[in-house]
Amino acid sequence: MPSLFSVAPVLPVLFALLVGVVVVGGFVLAQRQRERVETTYQQVCRDQGLVPTDVPLGTSDAWLAQFELLPRGDRDHSAVWGMEGPVELQIGGAAVPATCAAFEWWWEDEHTSRTSRGGQRTTWRRRSVLVALVRLPAPYVMPRVRVESEGVFARLGVGGRGDFQVESEEFNRRYDVRVNDRPATIRLFDPEFQSQLLGRFEGTTFELAGDLALVAIPTPSGGLAMTNARRGGSGGWTQVFTRSGDRLRTDPAIVQALPGVRHRAVALLQAMPDGWWRGLAHDASTQERS
């Protein structure tokens, strides 16, 4: 029977081995996940005839963050898995060539709470939306319009001041619309387009500004995923591992969903009334003449 003295040195070695296996295993799994997503990304781009890009339509992360539908978060934000290519829009009774990009926009929100030992615990949550960004050619220059789902209080009739109102009560309850040019925007929200936003495009959030149209759709997981936690003992702050801009956190299903978001953006633009497009083209030609 071996004595305790001969067993004792083996335990730390076994423990170290176990830790090593876990670390290496984790690294290998992460690497495989990375490869899986990367492969899916390349394949989706190839199948759809799209060009992979880190800068959708040549826009930087800072520039994209000017869209109010794309939150900056408390720590970091970025566009990932960008893919772009030409599209032909049937708008105002004519075929209009445009460019459309799709990507995942993620950001990290900070949440702070107290621990049982009196310390502070901070967690960052990675949230994301799937985005399609369409650049229209001249002469289509749009006023600023932001459309998103109405908040709970506004639905109950509390607050919601400054919300652009249309004829449909149901539309007003469901959507919060912010605009900078009311006469121009009323042409967009004709009764037909209002009913489309309540039916076929229900829950779609979009933002128009200049020659760009942005459509944002929450990620399939609801746009929420815990990325990392910080533990604090006695009020201290301890950073736990997380690399900002980690592409690994994306599921391959999100990458596969991006072409669908592109199609949705195109369909939404094509559903906009002819009068809206006519007005934009006319305003541009009037400005040109003056």
Q: Mapping DSSP to helix (H, G, I), strand (E, B) and coil, where does residue 32 land?
A: helix
Alpha-carbon distances of 140 from 91, 163, 241, 278, rounded to whole Å: 11, 25, 46, 9
How many residues make up the chain in this entry?
290
* Shortest spacing between CB 190 and another protein, in angstroms: 6
Q: Among residues 192, 203, 221, 233, which is the contact residue for another protein, using CB under 8 A?
A: 192
Residue 254 identity (one-letter amino acid): I
From CA 43, how far away is CA 52, in angstroms rounded?
A: 10
Measured from the CB atom, the residue of 192 and 202 that comes closer to another protein is: 192
- Measured from the CB atom, the residue of 46 and 282 that comes closer to another protein is 282
Residue 90 contacts another protein per CB under 8 A: no
Q: Which is nearer to another protein, 56 or 279 (CB)?
A: 279
**Among residues 9 and 199, whose Cβ is nearest to another protein?**
199
Rounded to a whole number of angstroms, the minimum distance from the CB of residue 156 to another protein is: 16
| Closest by CA position to 53, among listed 77, 78, 84 | 84
Report the amino acid identity of residue 221.
Answer: S
State in angstroms the smallest separation of the CB of 187 from another protein: 5
Q: How far is the CB of 279 from another protein (least distance, A)?
A: 6
Q: How far is the CB of 275 from another protein (least distance, A)?
A: 5
Residue 2 found at the interface with another protein (CB under 8 A): no
Alpha-carbon distances of 49 from 44, 87, 159, rounded to whole Å: 8, 11, 46
Binding flag, residue 139, another protein (CB under 8 A): no
**Cα–Cα distance measured from residue 92 to residue 184, given in angstroms and rounded to the nearest whole number:** 16
Which C-beta is closer to another protein: that of 122 or that of 185? Answer: 185
Query: Which residue, 74 or 283, has its beta carbon nearer to another protein?
Result: 283
Half-sphere exposure of 253 (CA within 13 A, CB side): 4
The helix/strand/coil state of 233 is coil
Phi, psi of 188 (to 5 degrees): -70, -45
Q: Minimal distance in Å, beta carbon 160 to another protein?
A: 13
User: Binders of another protein among 261-280, rule CB under 8 A?
Assistant: 275, 278-279
Q: Which stretch binds another protein (CB under 8 A): 43-51, 63-71, 160-168, 246-254?
A: 160-168
Q: Is 47 a residue that touches another protein (CB under 8 A)? A: no
Note whether 39 binds another protein by CB under 8 A. no
What does DSSP say about strands 212-218 and 224-230: parallel, antiparallel, or unpaired? Answer: unpaired
92 binds another protein (CB under 8 A): no
Binding to another protein (CB under 8 A) within 162-191 occurs at 165-169, 182-184, 186-187, 190-191
Identify the CA nearest to 129 among candidates 160, 102, 150: 102
Kindly give, in sequence order, each residue whose CB lies less than 8 Å from that of residue 67, ignoring residues fewer than 6 positions away. 207, 209, 214
Site residues (vs another protein, CB under 8 A): 165-169, 182-184, 186-187, 190-192, 275, 278-279, 282
